[in-house]
Structure formats: C-alpha cells, structure tokens
C-alpha cells in the first residue's frame, strides 16, 4: 500500500432478521468468535491506520465486544436509523476528521475475507477515485449487478430491485467492497438521492459518480472470500471456510490430524506443533494443547490446557481444567471446572472430577467421583471411590496427603483428611480424619454360614411352586 492514510469503515448497524435469533447478527459466532470481529480483524491485519465500525442494532453489545477484543484500535459511529448503506457511510464520515487519505468500506457480515484480498483492493485504488471488488455468480440473485461500458470499464452498479430484465441477467456482481478517495467520498455521499425502489441512500451510487470523473478500477476475487452471511445456512458455510483455514494452518505448522474435516478448533484455541488431534475432537473456548500431547477421538475440551506429552483418551469431556505434562485422562472421563492434574497423573475411564487438584503420579483409575478434593503426590484412589463433598447446604473438601492408598468402593465424607502414607481399606466409609501411616477400616465382620446357600435355594423353589 502507499503512504497515504487508510481508514476502514465496517458497516455493522443492521438487525439481520433472517437469522431469526435473539443474538444480534453481528455477534453470531463463527468458530466461537463473533462475526463482526472476523471482519474487523481482516482490516487490521491488512494494516489500515484506523478502523471505524458503524453500529445501530444492539449497539451496546456490539460496542462491548469490539472494546473487549480490540481496545482503542477500533472506534464506532452510530447510525440511528437504517436509511441505507450510503447513510451508514455518512455517519462514519462524521466521526472521521477532514483529511486526505483513502477509505476502505465493506460489511461486518463478511467474515471470511482475507487481509490479502483487502491489500489487493487498496493497491488497485492508488491514484484512482474508487476501486471495488467484483465477482461472478452463476445464480446472482440478491446482489447488485456490475454495469460496464463498451470498453469494459465499470460505469455503475444496479441494485437488483432496480434492475431491468437485461440487467438482471448479468452474472457479474458487487460483493460490497470499496476503496475510495476520502475527499471524493465526502462529496459523493452528500450528492446521494433516495429516489429508488427502497427509498434509501445507496452507497453503490457513488460508483457512477466516480466513473463520471474518471476510470473506476475493479479487482476480481473469488466469491468464496467475499461471501456475506444473511441466514443460518450461510453462517454454516462461512464457518466451514474459517475452520478449514485453521486446520490447514495447524497441519502445515506440524500438528497431526486424523480425519481433519471432523475436527473443530475454535478461533481462540492454540495447538502447538507436534501435537495430535483425533477424529471428532473439539477444542472450544481458549483451549491450549502443548507439543507432544495427543487428544484422541471424540474428546471435547473447553478452556482446557493440556501439557506436553499428555494423553487424552477417546470421548473425554473437560471444561476449564489443566491437564499436566504426560498425564493421562480417559477414556470416557469428565473433568469439570477447576480440575488440575499434575505431571504423570492419571484419571481413568468413567471417572468424574470437579474442583480437585491431583498431584504428580497420582491415579484415580476408574468409576470414581472426586469433587472438592486436594490429592497429593503418588496417591492411588481405587475404583468406585466417592468424595462425598455436599451435605445438602455446603460443599466440603477432602484431602489425601502424599502416598495415600484408597481401596476400591470407599466413601470419604468431607470435610476429612487422610494423612501421609495412610491406607483406607476397600469398602470403608471414612467420616473422620485418618492419621498418617494408619489403616482406616469400617467394614462389618464377615460371617460364613455353611450350607446356607442350598437351603435358601430350596426355600425359593418352594415359594415358586
């Protein structure tokens, strides 16, 4: 791009009724990032000097999203009434000081545009009043048509509702991306008229004004990169494009993926080179998978950090947790919020954890529930163990110090502490603290009644008969 100042105007004031959603259109998620954020990111990555987003519907919520993600790199301008795209640009210009420069204009519902395409457009606009992106569609319904003169120069755009039958047959369309000289744009917007089928100020009419003053430059680009999103189907198409880009970038960086098309990686998740993702894996929120970790088939992680060399076995579900280096989880395990697994620890199949810290090399092998727990290092928790953490009013903590052994089918009624190196015998219900190096045993004495089984069977046969 040249040395002149470039300001992006992103039009994001519309309601988007075709989405049929309580979520404002501009905040509809794609790969868990709001639509308008994708559009704004493309302009910022193309190194524009400023970005102004025109807001209207759900203004406060859109502004909050922009502020939280971009801070002072993005400003907003209010379009109080929906009077067309030309009016939206007029509102943005009121927030831009009188100066020379170039304005990039496009829509906030175009989330898949790339910085590279934007740079091509801005480069083409050097020395011209206006440049625009064009694309071709076999079925151009809904889009404005590109009008050219006999020499092939763009002379205007006709919105579909205003097209003649001949113009409606044109397959070259206007996706709505412009780079315009700022001083020319101010004059052109003042001259816009609402004398059209929708009684609105069309930004597209600026193109004819630019053509009358000199040649309009056009840049052809794939429609896939310029796709607008108007309903849930188009939202899904756009998300598929963004996910495909993410997967490709990760694989080229050194991440292995099995059946890549089945894998979901949110826009804010990180996967380091050397990691592996199995088929059907979903990384949601701000998850992070370190090098050498393996996330096996069907696992769903939300805001989870997975340490180097860790192994998450199939169909594990984890939320807001930390899985330490070389730890192993699953299969079919459930890590709830605030679970922290130390290095080389293990959570086995059909085990659930919640708000529990598990120390290095400790194991909760299978079929157990450990909630509100602090488990030290080198602890073994046998199958079927339950931390009874809730008394009906409050949650309480269970502490297992280093080297503790908990036998299978034990219940620990919190608050309770088991001291260092202590044993809890299988089938024990622990209701008070166990000292270090002690054995806790609460089973009733076993009795064997000789010959009782055969007598019991005879009684039952007689009852049946």
396-421: per-residue pLDDT in tens? Answer: 999 999 999 999 999 999 999 999 99
DSSP state of 367: S
Q: pLDDT of 62-94, one tens digit each?
A: 999 999 999 999 999 999 988 889 999 999 999
pLDDT at position 1 is 47
Q: If we measure between CA atoms, which residue out of 13, 10, 225, 255 comes closest to residue 112? A: 225
Dihedral class, residue 309 (left if φ above 0, else alpha if ψ from -120 to 50, else beta): left
pLDDT at position 137 is 93
Q: If we measure between CA atoms, which residue out of 95, 82, 106 comes closest to residue 8? A: 106
Q: If we measure between CA atoms, which residue out of 387, 377, 379 comes closest to residue 352? A: 387
pLDDT at position 165 is 93
In this predicted structure, the answer to whether residue 4 has a pLDDT above a threshold of 80 is no
Cα 83 versus chain centre, distance: 33
pLDDT at position 316 is 98
Alpha carbon distance, N-terminus to C-terminus of the chain: 96
**Length of the chain in residues, anyone?**
465
Which two three-digit tokens encode residue 179?
């780079």
Query: pTM for the full model?
Result: 0.90
pLDDT at position 99 is 82
Q: Which range has the worst mean pLDDT, 97-111, 236-250, 338-352, 363-377?
A: 97-111
Residues 415, 425: Cα–Cα separation, whole Å: 19
Inter-CA distances, 60 with 7, 39, 353, Å: 23, 18, 38
- 277 phi/psi in degrees, rounded to 5: -120, 130
Rg (CA), the chain: 32
For residues 253-266, give the mean pLDDT.
98
Q: Which residues are known catalytic residues?
A: 366
Q: Domains of the chain by range and CATH?
A: 6-226 (3.90.550.10), 256-440 (2.160.10.10)
Inter-CA distances, 347 with 98, 304, 414, 448, Å: 63, 15, 21, 37
pLDDT at position 3 is 58
Residues 313, 295: Cα–Cα separation, whole Å: 7
pLDDT grade for 56, boundaries at 50, 70 and 90: very high
Q: What is the sign, positive or negative, of the torsion defined by CA atoms of 56, 60, 66, 72? A: positive
Dihedral class, residue 235 (left if φ above 0, else alpha if ψ from -120 to 50, else beta): alpha
Q: Mind giving me the DSSP string for 371-409?
A: EEEEE-TT-EE-TT-EEE-B-SS-B--EEE-TT-EE-TT
pLDDT grade for 443, boundaries at 50, 70 and 90: confident
pLDDT at position 194 is 82
Inter-CA distances, 158 with 204, 206, 208, 300, Å: 8, 11, 10, 48
For all residues of the chain together, what is the average pLDDT? Answer: 95
Task: Report which secondary-structure segment, H or E, holds 346.
Answer: strand 346-347
Q: pLDDT of 133-166, one tens digit each?
A: 999 999 998 899 999 999 999 999 998 988 999 9
In this predicted structure, the answer to whether residue 2 has a pLDDT above a threshold of 80 is no
Q: What is the sign, positive or negative, of the torsion defined by CA atoms of 325, 331, 333, 335? A: positive
Residues 65, 57: Cα–Cα separation, whole Å: 14
Cα 338 versus chain centre, distance: 21
């Amino acid at each position: 791009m040249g040395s002149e100042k470039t300001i992006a105007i992103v039009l994001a004031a519309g309601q988007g009724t075709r989405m049929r959603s309580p979520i404002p259109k501009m905040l509809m998620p794609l790969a868990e990032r709001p639509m308008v954020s994708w559009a704004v990111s493309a302009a910022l990555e193309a190194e524009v000097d400023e970005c102004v987003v025109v807001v209207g519907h759900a203004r406060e919520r859109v502004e909050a999203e922009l502020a939280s993600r971009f801070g002072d790199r993005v400003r907003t301008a209010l379009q109080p009434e929906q009077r067309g795209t030309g009016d939206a640009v007029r509102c943005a210009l009121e927030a831009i000081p009188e100066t020379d420069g170039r304005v990039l204009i496009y829509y906030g519902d175009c989330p898949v545009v790339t910085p590279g395409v934007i740079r091509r457009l801005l480069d083409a606009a050097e020395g011209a009043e206006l440049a625009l992106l064009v694309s071709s569609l076999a079925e151009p319904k809904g889009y404005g048509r590109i009008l050219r003169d006999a020499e092939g120069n763009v002379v205007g755009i006709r919105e579909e509702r205003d097209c003649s039958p001949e113009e409606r047959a044109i397959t070259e369309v206007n996706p709505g991306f412009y780079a315009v000289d700022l001083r020319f744009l101010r004059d052109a917007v003042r001259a816009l008229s609402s004398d059209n089928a929708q009684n609105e100020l069309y930004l597209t009419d600026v193109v004819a004004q630019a053509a009358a003053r000199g040649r309009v430059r056009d840049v052809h680009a794939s429609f896939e990169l310029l796709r607008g999103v108007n309903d849930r189907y188009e939202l899904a198409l756009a998300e598929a494009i963004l996910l495909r880009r993410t997967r490709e970038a990760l694989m080229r960086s050194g991440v292995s993926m099995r059946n890549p098309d089945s894998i979901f990686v949110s826009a804010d998740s990180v996967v380091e080179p050397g990691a592996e993702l199995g088929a059907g894996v979903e990384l949601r929120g701000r998850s992070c998978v370190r090098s050498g970790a393996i996330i096996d088939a069907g696992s769903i992680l939300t805001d989870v950090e997975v340490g180097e060399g860790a192994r998450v076995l199939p169909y594990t579900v984890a939320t807001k947790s930390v899985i330490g280096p070389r730890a192993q989880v699953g299969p079919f395990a459930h890590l709830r919020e605030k679970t922290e697994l130390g290095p080389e620890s293990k959570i086995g199949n059909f085990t659930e954890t919640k708000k529990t810290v598990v120390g290095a090399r400790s194991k909760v092998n299978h079929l157990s529930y450990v909630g509100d727990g602090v488990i030290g290092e080198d602890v073994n928790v046998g199958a079927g163990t339950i931390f009874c953490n809730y008394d009906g009013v409050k949650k309480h903590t269970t502490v297992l110090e280093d080297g503790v052994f908990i036998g299978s089918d034990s219940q620990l009624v919190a608050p309770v502490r088991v001291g260092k190196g202590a044993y809890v015998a299988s089938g024990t219900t622990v209701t008070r603290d166990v000292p270090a190096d002690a054995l806790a045993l609460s089973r009733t004495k076993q009795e064997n009644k000789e010959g009782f089984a055969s007598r019991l069977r005879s009684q039952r046969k007689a009852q049946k008969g």
